[in-house]
Amino acid sequence: MRAVDLIIKKRDGGTLSAEELRFLMRGYVDGSVPDYQMSAWAMAVLWRGMDDRETADLTLAMAESGELLDLHAIAPLTVDKHSTGGVGDKTSLVLGPLCASLGLPVAKMSGRGLGFSGGTLDKLEAIPGMRIDLRPDEFAHLLRTVGLVIAGQGTELAPADKLLYALRDVTGTVPSLPLIAASIMSKKLAAGADCLVLDVKVGAGAFMKSLPEARALARQMVGIGQHAGRKVAAVITSMQQPLGYAIGNALEVKEAIATLQGNGPSDLVELCLALGAQLALLAGKASTTEDGYKLLTAVLNSGAAWRKFREFVAAQGGDLSTVDDPRLLPEATVVEPVAAPHDGFIGAIDADLLGLAVNALGGGRQRKDDRIDPSVGIVLVHKVGEFVAQGTPLATIHASHMDMFIQVHDRVQGAFHLQHSAPASLPLIYEVVEQASNVP
Ligand code: URA
């Protein structure tokens, strides 16, 4: 087999077989297929597309390019979630304990955030002492004993994706639906969970800007899961404004703690229950989504999920006194308000702009080895639809010094779009995409 023939086949609108895709992915990882050939192939895919079978086979070829975790010896059934990326998205910190306290083991391998405020691992590391670099035996032990473990990827999962994603980034081939779906799902399949819920964000602050795009991505990923014998559902949710009020690592941990203690913002609570209900359904804990919703509400209200979070933090070395009294979590020295420039209703909050502002404050990284300041961030005072009077606070900025506050002030103020009339209310959850066999 020759890579050039496969590029030509795709260029001319053909469909590659599983064997041909394995040849390309293996060859890319072992160096026998060079970057220039992979670039040409990726561009051909971007223009020609892939059918569902081909996309699923590509995903499996990418997953099989590295280690495939098999967690069944530790837990017969595990659940996981993936979000396509949102600002203020601390869902995993709440959903993990919710599911685990319902008896659904959560084994989560996370990446670190790049570009926006931190990822799940960065948020967890805002808790002093918290260890997320776990050895495989520690990972297995915590999954068995606590039923909830969140860690960085020890071994490299789906190395073909890592190489290909970096190549797509510099060759204009990121916005290809089959390549995005295969990229996300290859890592999730390799991480071994039996049941997976995907939170596909849509809106100005998300990767997918429109509902039809988000729906197409969701359908493709759910289909890949089905082809691979996993149970997968996708929930399409709004990223027209940040989730909850807090953006920034320690600030988001505080909001997650408040949520687990029953005092969470309504959008965050609703999203966690909706994602959890899908997992409960997929895992056979609930017979309907409504059932799942009730079961999760019960573990939230009883305090069981909060106790599970404490157990998880302690098991991974985190200082429990800081989660019991979140004022002990890292706090910024400068906490100053950003005022509304005039009266008005908030019509939209640009989540992208706020995410970038938190990044500029030091709450995220621009390069892989940048250090994160866990204390900095932004806390919204108001959300979309609310009225603000001129001079009253829209948000507070948590910064390491006054210069940083001044540097991001205008960007934060500009993220709030004020208008004369109240905007139409926004849905948080647009729709759920299920596998064919799950549709009654
Ligand atoms: N996230 C991924 O992991 N891969 C993509 O291609 C896009 C978003």
Can you tell me the mean pLDDT for 98-122?
Answer: 81
Distance 35 CA to ligand 1 centre (A): 19
Q: Is the CB of 180 under 6 A from ligand 1?
A: yes
- The separation between the first and the last C-alpha atoms of the chain, rounded to the nearest angstrom, is 44
We report the CATH number of the domain holding residue 20 as 1.20.970.10
The answer to whether residues 233 and 120 belong to one domain is: yes
* DSSP E strand stretches across 105-165: 106-110, 148-152
Whether 107 and 7 map to the same domain: the answer is no
In this structure, is residue 254 part of a structural domain? yes
> 297 and 340 share a domain?
no
pLDDT surpasses 70 at 106: yes
Q: With respect to residue 69, please indicate whether it lies within any of the assigned structural domains.
A: no
Query: Both 318 and 337 in a single domain?
Result: no
Whether the pLDDT of residue 439 is over 50: the answer is no
Per the structure, the count of domains in the chain is: 3
Q: Whose CA is nearest to atom 5 of ligand 1?
A: 180
Which of 66-75, 167-176, 207-216, 415-424 is the most confident on average?
415-424
Pair (214, 154) in one structural domain = yes
The answer to whether the CB of 46 is under 6 A from ligand 1 is no
**Domain stop point among 49, 70, 87:** 49
Which numbered atom of ligand 1 lies nearest the CA of 184? 3
- Does 275 fall in a domain? yes
Between 439 and 278, the higher pLDDT residue: 278
pLDDT reading at 154 higher than 80 = no
Residue 362 lies in a domain: yes
Q: Which residues does the annotation mark as catalytic?
A: 82, 161, 168, 183, 187
> Longest C-alpha distance within the chain, in Å?
68
Q: Is 165 in the pocket of ligand 1 (CB under 6 A)?
A: yes
Distance 182 CA to ligand 1 centre (A): 8
Residues 144 and 271 in one domain: yes
Report the separation in Å between the CA atom of 180 and the middle of ligand 1, taken as the mean of its atom positions: 5
Q: Whose CA is nearest to atom 8 of ligand 1?
A: 180
Residue 219 shares a structural domain with residue 367? no
Task: Say what the pLDDT of residue 112 is.
Answer: 62
Find out whether 110 and 148 touch, Cβ atoms under 8 Å.
no
With a 6 Å cutoff on the Cβ, whether 430 touches ligand 1 is no
What letter represents residue 328's amino acid? L
Report residue 94 CA to chain centroid gap. Answer: 13
Q: What is the pLDDT at residue 117?
A: 59
Please give the average per-residue pLDDT across 187-199, as a whole number.
93
Residue 355 lies in a domain: yes
Residues 280, 397: one domain?
A: no
pLDDT band of 212, cuts 50, 70, 90: very high
Q: Point out the ligand 1 atom lying closest to the alpha carbon of residue 183.
A: 4
pLDDT of residue 437: 62
Is 352 among the domain residues? yes
Percentage with pLDDT > 70 across the chain: 97
pLDDT in tens, 141-152: 999 999 999 998
Residue 191, pLDDT above cutoff 50: yes
Mean pLDDT, residues 210-232: 95
Structure confidence at residue 111 as a pLDDT band (50, 70, 90): low
Which atom, in ligand 1's list, is nearest to the CA of 207? Answer: 8
Atom of ligand 1 nearest to the CA of 168: 6
DSSP state of 377: E
DSSP string, 62-103: HHTTS-----TTT-S--EEEEES--TT--HHHHHHHHHHHTT
In a shared domain, residues 228 and 340: no
Q: For residue 376, give its domain range.
A: 331-419
Task: Give the CATH number of the domain where residue 410 resides.
Answer: 3.90.1170.30
pLDDT of 440 reads 38
Banded model confidence at residue 396, pLDDT cuts 50, 70, 90? very high
302 and 342 part of one domain: no
Asked if residue 275 and residue 212 are part of one domain, the reply reads yes
Q: Are residues 268 and 194 in the same domain?
A: yes
The pTM (predicted TM-score) of the whole model is: 0.92
* Residue among 213, 218, 195, 192 nearest 203 (CA): 213
- Asked if the structure places residue 60 within a domain, the reply is no
- The overall average pLDDT reported for the chain is 93
CATH number at residue 295: 3.40.1030.10
Is 155's pLDDT higher than 70?
A: no
Average pLDDT of 258-269?
97
pLDDT digits (tens, 9 = 90+) for 299-349: 999 999 999 999 999 999 999 999 999 999 999 999 999 999 999 999 999
198 CB near ligand 1 (under 6 Å) = no
Alpha-helical (H) ranges within 12-63 are 18-30, 35-48, 52-63
Q: Is 184 in the pocket of ligand 1 (CB under 6 A)?
A: yes
pLDDT at 169: 82
**Would residue 271 count as lying in a domain?**
yes
